[in-house]
């Protein structure tokens, strides 16, 4: 894809799943990648796979809920590669202890709300705030935010998670509206059911059947289905696309 080779991208949440797939895809296109994650072993494994395939990547431990560690993520990237050209916001707290207790409004504890908003929403606020000045200084850059089909409003559960994802849709548009004229592109993806490591472990057959019943496709999603879209949106091939949030999920939703 045009405009990825030799550029540097931060994948904020690249230990497993969609983030790992995107980091690998960006590196295969010739980009340099910082693989940030709270799961440093996973981030190192992604970076090692990239290295073995002839790409360049560095793994950095960071926590979306911690301002200082987000600043360090960006600082380490610039120290390693000399620049930053784009950001993929993809991490989210999908731990059973958090999202497993995120159900309906009446049953979800406030600590689940706080944790979910702190990581999934404020985490993307922190990373975007830390990266944007560097992109503006360079005269442009691209941000891709990972939302969810859940933000479209038909899931009766996961009230906090879906609210956090609806909020990042607006964050995506806010960045595009304010800095599009300065060369900044900000777009989002809303995945359908994508079988990364986390979903394979959970192996929720009821969810998989419900998804397939609503979808117009032959299979569940793979991380590479989202990685190709994120890489495209980060590339210069997408230079006239800004402020959009796309549903990528086997057509189980037809309107956005």
Ligand X SMILES: NC(=O)c1ccc[n+]([C@@H]2O[C@H](COP(=O)([O-])OP(=O)(O)OC[C@H]3O[C@@H](n4cnc5c(N)ncnc54)[C@H](O)[C@@H]3O)[C@@H](O)[C@H]2O)c1
Which residues have a catalytic role annotated?
161
Q: How far apart are CA 148 and CA 221, in angstroms?
A: 13
Examine residue 38 and tell whether it contacts ligand X (CB under 6 A): yes
Examine residue 151 and tell whether it contacts ligand X (CB under 6 A): no
State whether the Cα torsion 188-195-96-35 is positive or negative: negative
Residue from 148, 162, 186, 252 that binds ligand X (CB under 6 A)? 148
Question: How many residues form the binding site for ligand X (CB under 6 A)?
Answer: 30
Q: How far apart are CA 88 and CA 77, in angstroms?
A: 13
Structure tokens at 107: 């049953």
Examine residue 144 and tell whether it contacts ligand X (CB under 6 A): no
Closest to ligand X by CB, 4 vs 73, is: 73
60 contacts: CB under 8 Å, gap ≥ 6: 34, 35, 36, 43, 72, 73, 76, 77
Examine residue 44 and tell whether it contacts ligand X (CB under 6 A): no
Examine residue 168 and tell whether it contacts ligand X (CB under 6 A): no
Smallest distance, ligand X to C-beta of residue 243, A? 19
Structure tokens at 101: 């207790």
Residue from 65, 169, 172, 186 that binds ligand X (CB under 6 A)? 65
Residue from 23, 132, 193, 231 that binds ligand X (CB under 6 A)? 193
Q: What is the CA radius of gyration of the chain?
A: 17
Examine residue 94 and tell whether it contacts ligand X (CB under 6 A): yes
Examine residue 64 and tell whether it contacts ligand X (CB under 6 A): yes
Asked if residue 131 lies in contact with residue 88, where contact means CB atoms within 8 angstroms, the answer is: no
Residue with tokens 């397939």: 212
Closest to ligand X by CB, 165 vs 173, is: 165
Q: How far apart are CA 210 and CA 110, in angstroms?
A: 29
Q: How far apart are CA 29 and CA 158, in angstroms?
A: 36
For binding to ligand X (CB under 6 A), which residues are involved?
13, 15-19, 37-39, 42, 62-65, 90-94, 119, 146, 148-149, 191, 193-194, 196-199
């Amino acid at each position: 894809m045009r405009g990825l080779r030799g550029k540097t991208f931060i994948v904020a949440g690249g230990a497993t799943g969609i983030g790992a797939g995107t980091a690998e895809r960006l590196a295969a296109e010739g980009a340099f990648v910082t693989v940030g994650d709270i799961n440093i072993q996973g981030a190192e494994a992604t970076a090692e796979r990239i290295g073995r395939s002839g790409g360049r990547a560095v793994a950095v431990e960071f926590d979306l809920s911690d301002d200082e560690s987000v600043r360090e993520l960006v600082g380490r990237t610039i120290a390693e590669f000399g620049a930053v050209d784009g950001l993929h916001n993809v991490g989210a707290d999908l731990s059973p202890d958090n999202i497993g207790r995120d159900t309906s409004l009446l049953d979800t504890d406030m600590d689940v709300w706080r944790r979910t908003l702190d990581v999934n929403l404020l985490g993307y606020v922190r990373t975007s705030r830390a990266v944007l000045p560097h992109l503006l200084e360079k005269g442009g850059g691209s941000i891709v935010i990972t939302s969810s089909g859940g933000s479209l409003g038909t899931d009766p559960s996961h009230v906090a998670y879906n609210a956090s994802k609806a909020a990042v849709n607006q964050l995506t548009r806010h960045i595009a509206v304010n800095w599009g004229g300065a060369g900044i592109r900000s777009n989002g993806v809303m995945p359908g059911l994508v079988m990364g490591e986390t979903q394979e472990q959970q192996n929720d057959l009821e969810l998989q059947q419900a998804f397939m019943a609503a979808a117009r496709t032959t299979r569940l999603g793979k991380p590479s289905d989202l990685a190709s879209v994120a890489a495209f949106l980060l590339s210069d091939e997408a230079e006239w696309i800004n402020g959009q949030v796309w549903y990528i999920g086997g057509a189980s939703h037809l309107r956005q």
